[in-house]
Amino acid sequence: MPTIPGMLFSTLVALTAAFHPSLACEGEPHSCYGEPEHDVILTRNTTDTHGWLEGHTKEQNYGADWGDYVSFTRAMKQKARNLGVDLLLDLHDDAGPSDATWENVEYGLLTIGNHELYITEIAYETFSNFSNVYGDRHLTRLGIMAFGVLFDFTSNSNVSKVIKAASMVQESWFLEAVNCTKPIDLFVVIGDNPVRTTVSSSTFGTLFRAIRKTRPNVPIQAFGGRTHIRDFVVYDNKQRAWSIKSSNYTFTNPNGVINPTRSAILPVSTETASESLPSSTTPSDLWYARRYLDWNHLTFAYHAEGSQQYTTSFDTPKAFAVTSKITAARNKLHLTNLYGCAPQSYCQFCKPFLAGGNLFQLLQTALSTVFVNETRKHTPHLITISIGSVHFDLAKGRFTYDDSFIVSPFKDAFQFLADVPYEQASKVLDFLNSDTCVEPPLLYSSDRMHKRSKPKGRVISRHFTEVSLGYTTIDDFGDDGDDTIHAKIPSYTQPNDLQANASFPTDGSTSATVDLVFIGFIASYIVNALNQPVVGGNYSTSQVAYYMDKSFTTSSYLPAYAKIAWQETTPHCPVGAGIGSD
């Protein structure tokens, strides 16, 4: 049985001189804070890519694929060697079967995310094959001790064992590692974990406190994930512990440097560090820099070679081979099959709930349109889905099989309770949306909608003079971390659940009873809501049955709707300006 504790790593970093960049923003809105700085340790991190190996094909500002990233990491490693510094690459991801493509990038540190642990076959693949490709990493100059630790996660299959961080830090191997006699220049903590210790699921604070008990002054660098935002956090008063994270879905590649240019700005907000986090006992002689790079070919080429052109020196044969492999896999899986043409972009958070352009307004319409159980088609039905079953926005343009998974990758089938009194069924949604315990399969942290980071910016060209909508990040370093300048995208809170109705009388009247339809993931919550005294029901999960065939899932209804509603414009299907813009 694979055991998934905080996994102990050792790695090395070689370093020498500092590099002082010149500004690179003359005449364009890009890199107005200069090229990412380089000095003692340069780090890059990818997390929560969730299999977006092809990049965002309808969003040019995030259109790089994994082949482009292979070129970028190769070029940056060579650049680091030329500068006499070391580039440390970190991966902690939720990608499952796509992991083999990661093998084309020379990561120094890797750990897993929760999505590698839900399914037994994927857990075995990660343990038996993926981990063997990388093997051990060895140090030559700096002494770095690294630990991989997951957030408090309990939904793994029984083929793996997750050791909670609170237990891990008490185990003998951990204590021996932290107290080893060899010099340690830097601790690195990586994991699918919120970087801000005030987020309830974060376990980084546990590691921080445990290390500080015996190593009060050794610097700690953390690489986080989970919350799907750009962020940089300084943990202690002497600025000897910090964490950085990219966003999600290959939107961002962050650059972090222990660098002699400036210290963090404290306090920017009151949510950075918990009061229980210990302080360093010596003044800090460390200064840092960080930069968040948009995930596109122009950005990668610019920072790797100072050029935005497709050059033979940047785009390597290995990178082209990776791109070809991704394309072949997508074709084999029929991901490019066309179902229709989305007439506009639809977003989860940039529009008010059920307003025009809000994704949930589209999904409500789609659910009402395509849900028909032929044996019960004359019975009105209410259809409820969890907002958590929806993963991402839908961009204007060709709607393909791939888009059905982009919007909702989960395979939740639809179940129902038959002939529920309408007076009871009509009260369920309000109860669900007032109950904070109803959580989606992939948690959308409140940080996802915090002012620190607004996702999904789009820009056509790096010489484009108009500032586009996109990421606008404020972290513990301030507001100058975004490599490309963007205008803010609005962000609106959304409820826990969405409901649509179908087969109701056209005169606006209601039926005495209805079929209450819902995704299987929330079946127990539906039953619990019905049985509340204010609702008045008396149901059990044993009464739940499938409303549609089990093969019709949360990734099925939007393609079915596209075939009905989006066919006329398919021959001429332009891509839009991007989420939030059209």
User: Which pLDDT band holds residue 99 (cuts at 50, 70, 90)?
Assistant: very low
* ∠ CA 261-263-269, rounded to 5°: 140
Same domain, 275 and 377: no
Same domain, 424 and 559: yes
pLDDT over 80 (residue 375): yes
- Residues 487, 479: contact at Cβ < 8 Å? no
Residue ranges of alpha helices (H) inside 34-160 are 66-83, 120-125, 131-134
Residue 582, in any domain of the structure: no
Q: What pLDDT, on a 0 to 100 scale, did the predictor assign at position 84?
A: 64
Q: What pLDDT, on a 0 to 100 scale, did the predictor assign at position 313?
A: 73
The CA distance from 430 to 422, in Å, is: 14
Q: What pLDDT, on a 0 to 100 scale, did the predictor assign at position 445?
A: 35
Same domain, 305 and 342: no
Q: Is 509 left (phi over 0), alpha (psi -120 to 50) or beta?
A: beta
Helix H or strand E segment including 86:
strand 86-93
Least confident of 84-93, 156-165, 268-277, 360-369: 268-277
Q: Is 127 left (phi over 0), alpha (psi -120 to 50) or beta?
A: alpha
CA nearest neighbour of 110 among 133, 85, 77, 139: 133
- Residues 238, 282: contact at Cβ < 8 Å? yes
Q: Which residue has the tokens 């790096």?
A: 462
pLDDT over 90 (residue 108): no
Label each residue of 512-530 as H, E or C. Answer: CEEEEEEEHHHHHHHHHHH
Least confident of 91-100, 115-124, 278-287, 566-575: 91-100
Residue ending a domain, choose from 295, 328, 361: 328
Same domain, 304 and 347: no
Q: What pLDDT, on a 0 to 100 scale, did the predictor assign at position 98?
A: 43
Residue 114, in any domain of the structure: yes
Q: What pLDDT, on a 0 to 100 scale, did the predictor assign at position 260?
A: 39
Same domain, 51 and 112: yes
User: Which pLDDT band holds residue 146 (cuts at 50, 70, 90)?
Assistant: confident
Same domain, 196 and 290: yes
Structurally, the chain folds into a number of domains equal to 2
DSSP structural state of residue 375: G
- Residues 364, 498: contact at Cβ < 8 Å? yes
| Amino acid in the structure at residue 260 | P
pLDDT over 50 (residue 50): yes
User: Which pLDDT band holds residue 255 (cuts at 50, 70, 90)?
Assistant: low
The CA distance from 230 to 244, in Å, is: 8
The CA distance from 416 to 424, in Å, is: 14
- Residues 518, 408: contact at Cβ < 8 Å? no
CATH number of the domain at 42, please: 3.60.21.10
Same domain, 155 and 245: yes
Beta bridge pairs of residue 233: 243
DSSP per-residue codes, 341-357 = EESS-BBSSSS-TTSTT
Q: What pLDDT, on a 0 to 100 scale, did the predictor assign at position 464?
A: 42
The CA distance from 425 to 254, in Å, is: 47
The CA distance from 359 to 287, in Å, is: 43
- Residues 276, 209: contact at Cβ < 8 Å? yes
Q: Which residue has the tokens 């990491």?
A: 73
Q: What pLDDT, on a 0 to 100 scale, did the predictor assign at position 270?
A: 36
Helix H or strand E segment including 470:
strand 468-470
Q: What pLDDT, on a 0 to 100 scale, did the predictor assign at position 389?
A: 92
Residue 146, in any domain of the structure: yes
Number of H helices, E strands in the chain: 13, 22
The pTM of this model reads: 0.75
Q: What pLDDT, on a 0 to 100 scale, did the predictor assign at position 494?
A: 93
More confident residue, 533 or 574: 533
CA nearest neighbour of 187 among 212, 165, 220, 217: 220
| Domain span at 63 | 19-328
Percent of the chain at pLDDT > 90 equals 31
Q: Which residue has the tokens 């460390």?
A: 286
Q: Diameter of the chain by CA atoms?
A: 80
Chain length of the chain: 582
- Residues 233, 476: contact at Cβ < 8 Å? yes
Residue ending a domain, choose from 328, 362, 397: 328
User: Which pLDDT band holds residue 351 (cuts at 50, 70, 90)?
Assistant: very high
Residue 570, in any domain of the structure: no
* ∠ CA 18-247-125, rounded to 5°: 100
Q: What pLDDT, on a 0 to 100 scale, did the predictor assign at position 4?
A: 36
Q: pLDDT tens digits, residue range 3-27? A: 333 333 222 222 222 222 222 333 4
End-to-end alpha carbon distance in the chain? 50
Residue ending a domain, choose from 328, 360, 392: 328
User: Which pLDDT band holds residue 281 (cuts at 50, 70, 90)?
Assistant: low
Percent of the chain at pLDDT > 70 equals 69
Residue 366, in any domain of the structure: yes
Q: What pLDDT, on a 0 to 100 scale, did the predictor assign at position 541?
A: 96
Residue 149, in any domain of the structure: yes
The average confidence (pLDDT) of the chain is 76
Q: What pLDDT, on a 0 to 100 scale, did the predictor assign at position 116?
A: 79
CB-side exposure of 364: number of CA atoms within 13 Å? 16
Mean pLDDT over 536-551 rounds to 96
- Residues 216, 278: contact at Cβ < 8 Å? yes
DSSP per-residue codes, 249-310 = TT-EEEEEEE-TT----S-S-TTSS-TTSPPPSS-----EEEEEEESSHHHHHHHHHS--S-
User: Which pLDDT band holds residue 441 (cuts at 50, 70, 90)?
Assistant: very low
Q: pLDDT tens digits, residue range 484-521? A: 888 888 889 999 999 999 888 777 788 899 999 999 99
Same domain, 411 and 543: yes
**At residue 544, what are phi and psi to the nearest 5 degrees?**
-75, 135
Same domain, 322 and 342: no
Residue 174, in any domain of the structure: yes
User: Which pLDDT band holds residue 310 (cuts at 50, 70, 90)?
Assistant: low
Label each residue of 418-465 as H, E or C. Answer: EEEEHHHHHHHHHHHHHCCCCCCCCCCCHHHHCCCCCCCCCCCCCCCC
pLDDT over 90 (residue 538): yes
CA nearest neighbour of 500 among 398, 361, 393, 392: 361
Mean pLDDT over 391-403 rounds to 93
Same domain, 160 and 304: yes
DSSP structural state of residue 165: H
Q: Which residue has the tokens 């490709």?
A: 133
Where would I find the beta strands (DSSP E) of 40-81? 41-47
pLDDT over 50 (residue 206): yes
Residue 523, in any domain of the structure: yes
Same domain, 150 and 257: yes
More confident residue, 412 or 577: 412
CATH number of the domain at 419, please: 3.90.780.10
CA nearest neighbour of 218 among 203, 231, 208: 208
Q: What pLDDT, on a 0 to 100 scale, did the predictor assign at position 420?
A: 97
DSSP structural state of residue 577: S
CA distances from 265 to 23, 36, 156, 172, 526 (A): 22, 18, 39, 37, 47
Mean pLDDT over 528-551 rounds to 96
Same domain, 187 and 41: yes
Helix H or strand E segment including 487:
strand 486-488
Helix H or strand E segment including 71:
helix 66-83
